[in-house]
Each structure stands twice: as C-alpha cells, then as structure tokens.
A and B are shown apart, each in its own frame.
Chain A
Amino acid sequence: EAGVTQSPTHLIKTRGQQATLRCSPISGHTSVYWYQQALGLGLQFLLWYDEGEERNRGNFPPRFSGRQFPNYSSELNVNALELEDSALYLCASSLRGVTQYFGPGTRLTVL
C-alpha cells in the first residue's frame, strides 16, 4: 500500500510569489493535515481537512490556505511569500483520527 505522497520535493520561490504544495493521502484516508517545520522551530499545525472541508486551522495568516479535493488529495497554497515561510511542509493523513501518517515533505525555500 502506498504511503502519503507529496510534491514537489523541493520548491524555490522568490519573495511575493505564490507556492502550491500537493499531498495525496493513503488510500481510504479522508483527513489531511498540513504542518510547517521552520528551521530551529518545532512542528506547527497549519490546517486540517476532512471530507473536503476545512475543520481546523493553526495560528497562521490567511496567506496560508488550501483545499481538499473529492479524491481526498489536498493542496496547500501560500500567497505573497515571505522569507520566513522557508520551511519543510509536511502533510499527514488519517482515517477518522487515531493516528496520522506523514509524507516525505516539501522543502520550500524563499529567496
């Protein structure tokens, strides 16, 4: 069974641009979670999607948004990129909670 996949692996953008990160959950999982791990900081919860709806949101500005598609895959969009948005973005999926399984991450670098 395939695990959680994320694309791209690496993404380099400049300040002010937009970044789109993608995540495909484990087959059968309906929830997708996004986390940010900035250098020197811990893992911070960003967004939770379940059954196509945003269920919860972390303490991030509205520049961070996303959506979940009918096939439960998800996109994370970051608008008006700032230098401090440089981080590893991790996606996780779960089936009705219990435990989350993480993807390999997308490393975003903002120059």
Chain B
Amino acid sequence: GIQVEQSPPDLILQEGANSTLRCNFSDSVNNLQWFHQNPWGQLINLFYIPSGTKQNGRLSATTVATERYSLLYISSSQTTDSGVYFCAVPSGKMNRDDKIIFGKGTRLHILP
C-alpha cells in the first residue's frame, strides 16, 4: 500500500521562527490533507491540497503531485503552533478519501 513519510520527526524552534515540514508519499494521490493535532489530541484540518499552493494566514502548503511530496510552511511561529502535524492521503484511487493513511507526524515545539 501507499507509504507516507514525514520529516523531520521532531522540531524545536524559538517563537517567531519559520519552519518547513515535508511529506513524501510513495504513489500518486488525488488528494492530500494536512492536520494539526493540538496537545489535547484534537485534530484540526489545515489544508486540503491535492496539488498547487494554498495559504491561510501564517500557514501555507504546496503539493507537487508529480514529484509526490507536499510541504507545510509555518511563518512567524507562535507557541500555539506547538503540537503534531500530520499529512494524510487516501489509500485507494477513488476520488473519495475512504481510508486515509497518515504519516507518523512532525512534532513541533515552539519555545516562548
């Protein structure tokens, strides 16, 4: 099945720094999602981004589907950005994301 790898596994930054998180996937996908899991376990959708670039405030994401990777950029980090960031892709070729495969996540810790 499809493999999803995220890097780096852990990242510690000072407040105000910028960061880039990477997600590689082993097969072509027709959608990709980025999630933020806060310290209380809540998973929040950040982006649905099968291709191209999207921006939402200090966060942006780029997926290059032909090269099978996606990047999540966080600018001017704040302590509330701490948590684990997951990327996820569907396991099948269907347009529906029936079974989502998650990467192991990048644990981000922003120091005040």
Contact = CB atoms under 8 A, between A and B. Distances in A.
| A pairs with B | yes
A109 interface: no
A102 B105 contact: no
Contacts of A31: 96
B28 interface: no
B73 interface: no
Interface residues on A, range: 20 to 34
Contacts of B40: 104
B79 to A, nearest CB: 21
A74 interface: no
A100 B97 contact: yes
A98 B43 contact: no
Nearest to B44: A102
A45 B104 contact: no
Interface in B29-67: 31, 33, 35, 40-45, 48
Interface stretch (A15-23, A65-73, A75-83, A89-97): A89-97
A107 B86 CA distance: 19
Interface SS of chain A? strand
B102 A90 contact: no
Contact of B41 (A45, A97, A98, A104): A104
A94 B31 CA distance: 14
A99 B89 CA distance: 10
B41 A105 contact: yes
Given A98-B31, A98-B48, A102-B42, A58 B96 contact: no
Given A102-B43, A102-B44, A105-B41, A96 B101 contact: no
Given A99-B48, A100-B33, A45 B97 contact: no
The 7 closest A-B pairs by CB, nearest first: A97-B96, A102-B43, A43-B102, A99-B48, A42-B104, A105-B41, A97-B97
Interface of B: 31, 33, 35, 40-45, 48, 86, 88, 91, 94-105
